[in-house]
Structure 1
Amino acid sequence: MPFASATAQDGTPTFQIFQFPADGMPRIDGDAADWAMVPQSYAVTTAHMTENDGKHAGPNPATLDISVKVGWVKGLNRLYFLYEAYDDYWDFALPGLHNDTFEVVVDGDASGGPLIDNGHKDVWTPDVVGAARAVRDPRISVAEAHWANHGVHAQNYHVFTPARDKDWTMAWGSPTWIKAFPYANAKVEYDFQPGQAGRLTLEFWITPYDYAGAEGPERAVESVLRENKLIGLGWVVIDYDDVKKSENNGFWTLSKQRRMFGNASDLPLFRLMPMEAGSRRSPDAQWSFTVVDMDRRLVAFRDESAGDIRSWKWDFGDGSFSTEQHPQHSYAKPGNYVVILDVTGADGTARRSKVWDVQLR
């Protein structure tokens, strides 16, 4: 499936996030085999990125070659990443920020706006080199701006590639808890030493948040992921090539806006895609229900089947039936009911039974 055609004003395309089936979600073990089902058209490579410091005219796979695939699973508010990279010089000997880095920024509701502490208010002025710089509202203290805003509505992960003797990532902001399990998980595989060339495979997942405060997960609000939703997502690859030099050898951004790491409005958009035809059996009968009125025992049923469905047959478990796609049914008596949906599609038939899910009193 090709990239969507929509592009940002700066020409950045809308990318795609692959939907894994629930029984095929990636195991976080540093092995890319789980990603074999993901079409290559989902891969975002160095060719899609811009070196924003003017140190390279364009990508050179002989020195740095990157491929990123992003996935999701319907029903889980997680983003899965497969980061595969070749570098002719892996720099990860030091304990601080000087480390080859895959810096991921996610804005799960695409609300935009600055996410770093010095951008508490949405006021921006051009600086001397034409980039955007946040100006803090003087009525807000530096501390208040930091704790109220830094990484709260959008999150920035400095993922160290690889991390040696330190956490797998720095969560740049006040909610540092977001990098720990069960809110994230990561595993990397590589066979090189600092200063050597080689290939690295990194698997991880993160939880995007509409609100993630410094106080911890108790009041956090996860971003709800659903099919066809657009989210803000982008990354920077910071390439260091010499521990003796503080300056990096390349600052590669997926967005053409260098400040995307601090302003979610500059992030590219990614679409949470429906499941690919080859990833699930077709047809696949699925359904849900809502009790509309318990006193009248009125239940609304909703078909959620996948595939080219041509007909439906509902058995409500009380001797009543319907051929509507989304029927309502009023039960005469209290009870626990076995409800069955049979669907017929272009590719065959399927059935989904739920035992005693519908409980009426």
Structure 2
Amino acid sequence: MTISKTILGILLMFCISVTSYSTARPDRVFKIYQFPINQIPRIDGQFSDWEKIPDTYTIGLEELNDTRFGNGTNLDPSDYDIDVKVAWVKGLNRLYFYIDAYDDYWDFDHHALGQDIFELVVDGDLSGGTFINQHNGNKNLLSKNELHYKGHGSHAQNYHIFTPVQNKDWAMVWGNTPWIKEFPHYNSASAFDFEHGESGRLQMEFYITPFDHAAFDGFSKSSVSQLKEDDFIGLAWCILDFDGKGKCEAFMNIAHDTKMIYDASYLCAFRLMPLEPEWQKPIAANWSFLEVDRSSRWIQFKDESQGKIEKWHWDFGDNTNSTEQHPKHIYKQGGTWTVTLTVEGPAGKSIRSKVWDVVTQ
């Protein structure tokens, strides 16, 4: 019996074991808030979208540690203070950020890296390991220049985000993929009323697109991280606080290890949270399907309903049905089919039909 490539691929998906991983601060898992799809945050500098997020998602100065200059955990909020919220939207492979920061001396007139920076590192698939050319394990075989193009920033991405930005791009991407900081892979907006050298409050919102593989030669050769509910990603940030004359007086970071800037194994674990209860429907039917083998008209259906489900009823549109949760169905003839799933549970009944999505030949 010959197994088609499609079927073999599906079988392999179920057989591959989950890769183990390590993160910084293994006793701490941070949360990423899920916005409902009808409340996608606007990147407009107004920030009201973030007010609905519970305080339990706020990550403040108390989570940071100065790991370069010896201040440890004795960080002074009158010198620098920050709250960060991270969010996502199911179905959009983007990470949204809100920063609310105070500095007693905002330093942002330098044309290069000598200014206040929010340095963000993301590893969308928890692949871990080094991701910059200086620490590449193949540097004895290839030059740093070659390694820059072959992998610097490919499996994890480092953004030096300028706070605030003036007369330059919003961020420096440390690696071979400057295109990832361009729209539509990112967008940002900020609000502040201070001048260089003054104290004050900065608010900023932005999103980035994480990549399992970001290629030097562009988006078409890259692989976007697929963000899924309850999955974990690697994420960390640090603050470089400059207070004039090119002097960086602090390296405050959430990973509690300076290696976070170049080794994704030293990032923190962040969980992509489900919707908060207030946004969840008590019961809602939904489903998807996969064409396993076109020649035999084999369709695999998957229940994706929300709520406590006790009964399933599938109408495949060809006068056949099933009460399985995830049924396999083989159509006897070609056609365009309206498939309907009805689910029942303690909260009642819900129906979801899809018209002519399923097509057989």
- TM-score range normalised by the length of the shorter chain: 0.7 to 0.9
2:170 pairs with one of 168, 171, 182: 168
Could you say which residue in structure 2 is the equivalent of 1:84? 100
Q: CA RMSD in A?
A: 2.1
Partner-residue secondary structure (3-state), 1:249? strand
Letter in 2 for 1:38: I
What whole-Å deviation, never above 9, does each CA across 1:61-108 have from its counterpart, x for those lacking one? 223221111112222221111111122221112222111111000111
> Shift in Å at residue 47 of structure 1?
0.6
Distance in 1 separating the partners of 2:107 and 2:24 = 35
1:101–1:12 Cα change, 3 Å = farther
- Equivalent pair of 1:12/1:256 in contact (CA under 8 Å): no
Q: Which amino acid aligns with 1:68?
A: V
Alignment of 1:149-160 (within 5 A): 149-160=151-162
Counterparts in 2 of 1:262 and 1:347: CA distance versus 1, 3 Å: same
1:29 to 38, 44, 47: 44
Aligned amino acid, residue 65 of structure 1: D
Cα distance change of structure 1 residues 9 and 215 upon mapping to structure 2, 3 Å threshold: closer
Name the CA shift for 1:298/1:263 in 2 (closer, same or farther; >3 Å).
Answer: closer
Secondary structure in 2 matching 1:151: coil
Amino acid across the alignment from 1:358: V
CA distance in 2, matches of 1:167, 1:274: 34
Counterpart of 1:49 in structure 2 is 64
Q: Secondary structure at the match of 1:259?
A: helix
Give the 5 Å matches for 1:234-273: 234-242=236-244, 244=245, 246-273=246-273
Amino acid at match of 1:27: R
Deviations 1:148-199 (A, max 9, x none): 2321221100011110111111111111111001111111111221122222
Equivalent residue for 1:292?
292
Q: Distance in 2 between matches of 1:162 and 1:346?
A: 51
Distance 1:35 1:10 in 2: 26
Partners of 1:330 and 1:266 lie apart in 2 by: 48
**Structure 1 residue 337, shift from structure 2 partner:** 1.7
After the TM superposition, which residues 164-203 of structure 1 pair with which residues of structure 2 at under 5 Å, given as runs?
164-203=166-205
In the alignment, which residue of structure 2 is the partner of 1:108?
124
Instruction: Say whether residues 1:318 and 2:333 are aligned partners.
Output: no
Q: What are the ranges of 5 or more consecutive residues in structure 1 without an aligned counterpart?
A: 1-6, 122-135
Residues 91 and 100 of structure 1 are in contact (CA less than 8 Å); yes or no, is this contact kept in structure 2?
A: yes
Contact 1:12–1:268 under 8 Å retained in 2: no
Whether 2:33 is the aligned partner of 1:18: answer yes
Alignment of 1:273-288 (within 5 A): 273-288=273-288
Distance 2:99 2:111 in 1: 22
Measured in 1, the distance between the counterparts of 2:167 and 2:96 equals 24
| Corresponding letter in the other structure for 2:175 | G
Secondary structure at 2:41 match in 1: coil
The 1:339/1:10 distance shift into structure 2, 3 A limit, reads closer
**Distance across 1 between alignment mates of 2:284 and 2:43:** 27
1:190-218 residue CA offsets vs partner (Å, 9 max, x unmatched): 12211222222111111111221222222
Q: Quick check: 1:83–1:203 contact (8 Å CA) kept in 2?
A: yes
Whether 2:53 is the aligned partner of 1:38: answer yes
1:223 aligns with 2:230: no
Q: 1:56 to 1:106 in 2, by over 3 A?
A: same
Q: Is the 8 A contact 1:55 1:249 kept in 2?
A: no
- Structure 2 CA distance, aligned partners of 1:193 and 1:118? 36
Aligned partners of 2:23 and 2:267 also within 8 Å: no
Partner SS state of residue 138, structure 1: coil
Q: How far did 1:254 drift?
A: 0.6
SS of the residue aligned with 2:141?
coil
For the residues of structure 2 that align with 1:178 and 1:270, how far apart are their CA atoms? 21
Distance 2:70 2:102 in 1: 21
TM-score, normalising length: structure 1: 0.88
State the alpha-carbon separation in 2 of the partners of residues 263 and 90 from structure 1. 29
Q: Which runs of 5+ in 2 are unaligned?
A: 1-21
- In the TM superposition, what is the alpha-carbon distance from 1:11 to its structure 2 partner? 5.6
Counterparts of 1:224 and 1:290 in 2: how far apart (Å)?
18
Equivalent residues of 1:236, 1:252 under 8 A apart: yes
- Kindly tell me: are residues 54 and 33 of structure 1, through their superposed partners in 2, closer, same or farther at Cα, counting changes over 3 Å? same
Q: Is the 8 A contact 2:117 2:160 kept in 1?
A: yes
Total equivalences in the alignment: 340
**Quick check: 2:23–2:265 contact (8 Å CA) kept in 1?**
no
Letter in 1 for 2:34: Q
1 CA distance for matches of 2:176 and 2:297? Answer: 48
Q: Distance in 2 between matches of 1:85 and 1:9?
A: 24
Residues 57 and 359 of structure 1, relative CA distance in 2, 3 Å threshold: closer
Q: Distance in 1 between matches of 2:27 and 2:238?
A: 14
Shift of residue 119 of structure 1?
0.9
Moved more, 201-210 or 137-146: 137-146
**What is the rounded CA distance, in whole Å, between the counterparts of 1:203 and 1:350 in structure 2?**
37
CA gap 1:281/1:291 in 2 versus in 1, 3 angstroms: same
The percent identity for this pair of structures is 45
